[in-house]
Amino acid sequence: MENKAKHFVAPFNEADFAVVDAVRVDAEPSNLWRDAWRDMRKRPMFYISGVLIVLVALIALFPTLFTNVPPNDNCLLENSSAGATDGHPLGFTRQGCDVYSRIIYGTATSLSVGLIVTLMTTLVGVFIGAIAGFYGKWVDALLSRIGDIFFSIPYILAAVVIMSVFSKYRNIWVISAAIGIFAWPSTARVLRAEILRVKNLDFVMASTAIGVSRFRILMRHVLPNSIAPVIVVTTISLAAAIVAEATLSFLGVGLPSEVMSWGNDISQAQSQLRNAPQLLIWPSLALSITVLSFIMMGEVIRDALDPKARASR
């Protein structure tokens, strides 16, 4: 490298620059995902939300660790909507079942529905949205219009059809499919829009200019920089899916009533809203805490993926 600034800068020792300019071929290349992971571990919010998520997962996997009251036996009508008593800290449902135990046992169902739906819509939505936004032209037209068709199916129709056709198998998989199968276009559209913006940014142009392959640009540069809104939508969708399960129960096409789920409890509590509001509050609270932990986790991930936000701290 020839120094052309001789006329106003004193000569200097090139050796000092050599250190800076040297390319360490043995060093690992800088990696967005790894940087993000390193950054996340420095944040308290990561640990708070992580502990909460682990706790919820533990409840879902091993409900017997948290209660020894079976949720559906000994539902005595004389306890209908009664308040807390010894051994039943949150009182009883309208059918006289233990509220606390139903919430503990309902965790697995609600969490599964939320996670399955979110996973399904995110995977499909990100795949379709990324391809449509990045490749544009007829690929975009085709995928976007398919998305429009799916989006236009009212989810109640989908739920009625799916839950009726599989009426013998009303389980978490079927209800998750009913909620999720027509929900992915939202994720796809949000991501597509962000990719439309990001793919025109300078660093993408630069990558193209130095001959990086299109697919590699999408995966390494465009997608990570477009993912933030997807994370926001995804974390809220988790809650929306759990609530959608409640709405389907409310409309009569949810899970059978002997299946414990927060949604079932919330929808059954609705008719008692004025005389026993606590029946609604407890499962809603469980739902809120779960969602809060996932939203906080989403926030940490989002920040970690955004190098500029990282730098500004």
Partner 1 sequence: MRINKLGLAVIAVAATVALSLTGCAASDGGNDNIVSVNGSEPQNPLISTNTNEVGGGLILDSIYAGLVYYDEAGTPVNDMAESITSADNITWDIKIKSGWKFTNGEDVTADSYVNAWQYGAKLSNAQLNSYYFDAIEGFSYDTDTELTGLSVVSPTEFTVKLSSAQSDFPLRLGYSGFYPLPQAFFDDPTGFGEHPIGNGPYKLESDSAWKHNVDITLVKNPEYNGGRKALNGGLNIVFYATLDAAYADLLSDNLDVMAGIPDAALTTFEGDLGDRAVMQGAAVFQSFTIPQRLAHFGANEEGNLRRQAIAMSIDRVQIIDKIFNGTKQPASDFTSPVIAGWSDTLAGADVLTYNPTKAKELWAAADAISPWSGSFQIAYNADGGHQGWVDAVTNSIKNTLGIDSTGAAYATFAEFRTAITDQSIATAFRTGWQADYPALANFLTPLYQSGAGANDGQYSNDQVDALFTQGNSAATLDEANKFYQSAQEILLKELPAIPMWYGVTNGGYGTKVSGVKFGWNSVPLLHSIIKQ
Partner 2 sequence: MFSYILKRALQAVPVFFGTTLLIYFMVFAMPGDPIVALFGDKGVNEAVAEQLRARYHLDQPFIMQYLIYIGGIFQGDFGTSFSGQPVGAILAQTFPVTLRLATIAVFFEMVVGIGIGLVAGLRKGKLFDSSTLVVSLLLISVPIFVIGFVLQFLFAIKLGWARATVSGDATFSELILPGIVLATIGIAYIIRLTRSSVIETTGQDFVRTAYSKGLSSGRVVRFHVLRNSLIPVVTYLSIDFGILLVGATVTEGIFNVPGVGRTLYQAIIRGEGPTVVSFVTVMVLIYLVVNLLTDLLYAALDPRIRYGK
- Which partner from the list partner 1, partner 2, none does 7 bind, CB cut-off 5 to 8 Å by kind? none
Q: What is the 3-state secondary structure (H, E, C) of 167-212?
A: HHHCCHHHHHHHHHCCCHHHHHHHHHHHHHHHCCCHHHHHHHHCCC
Which residue reads 């997807």 in tokens? 230
Query: Minimum distance from CB of 283 to partner 2 (Å)?
Result: 10
Q: What gap in Å lies between CA 234 and CA 254, rounded to an integer?
A: 22
User: Which of partner 2, partner 1, none does residue 158 bind to, with CB < 5 to 8 Å depending on kind?
Assistant: partner 2
Give dist(CA 228, CA 68) in Å, integer.
42
The string of DSSP codes covering 99-149 is HHHHHHHHHHHHHHHHHHHHHHHHHHHHHHHHHHHHH-HHHHHHHHHHHHH
Residues whose CB falls within 8 Å of the CB of residue 260, separated by 6 or more in sequence, listed in order: 71, 72, 102, 105, 106, 109
Q: Does 77 bind partner 1 (CB under 8 A)?
A: yes
The window from 83-91, 113-121, 207-215, 236-244 that contacts partner 2 (CB under 8 A) reads: 236-244
- Integer Cα distance of 249 and 243 in angstroms: 10
The C-alpha atoms of residue 284 and residue 291 are separated, in whole angstroms, by 10
271 part of the interface to partner 1, by CB under 8 A? yes
Per CB under 8 A, does 142 bind partner 1? no
Give how far Cα 221 sits from Cα of 32, 192, 198, Å. 9, 15, 9
Cβ-based neighbours of 178, under 8 Å, separated by 6 or more: 155, 158, 159, 162, 163, 248, 253
Q: Is 135 in the site for partner 2 (CB under 8 A)?
A: no
Q: Which is nearer to partner 2, 95 or 272 (CB)?
A: 272
Chosen from partner 1, partner 2, none, partner binding at 256 (C-beta under 5 to 8 Å by type): partner 1
- Of the ranges 78-86, 104-112, 191-199, 214-222, which one interacts with partner 2 (CB under 8 A)? 191-199
Interface with partner 2, residue 145, by CB under 8 A: yes
Residue 131 in contact with partner 2, rule: CB under 8 A: no
Q: Which of 16, 28, 202, 258 binds partner 1 (CB under 8 A)?
A: 258
* Residue 94 interacts with partner 1 (CB under 8 A): yes or no: yes
Nearer to partner 2, 91 or 298 (CB): 298
Q: Does 200 bind partner 1 (CB under 8 A)?
A: no
Interface with partner 2 (CB under 8 A): 141, 144-146, 148-149, 151-158, 160-161, 164-165, 167, 185-186, 189-190, 192-194, 196-197, 200-201, 228-229, 231-233, 235-236, 239-240, 242-243, 246-247, 250-251, 266-267, 270, 273-274, 280, 284, 287-288, 291-292, 295, 302-303, 306, 308-309, 311-312
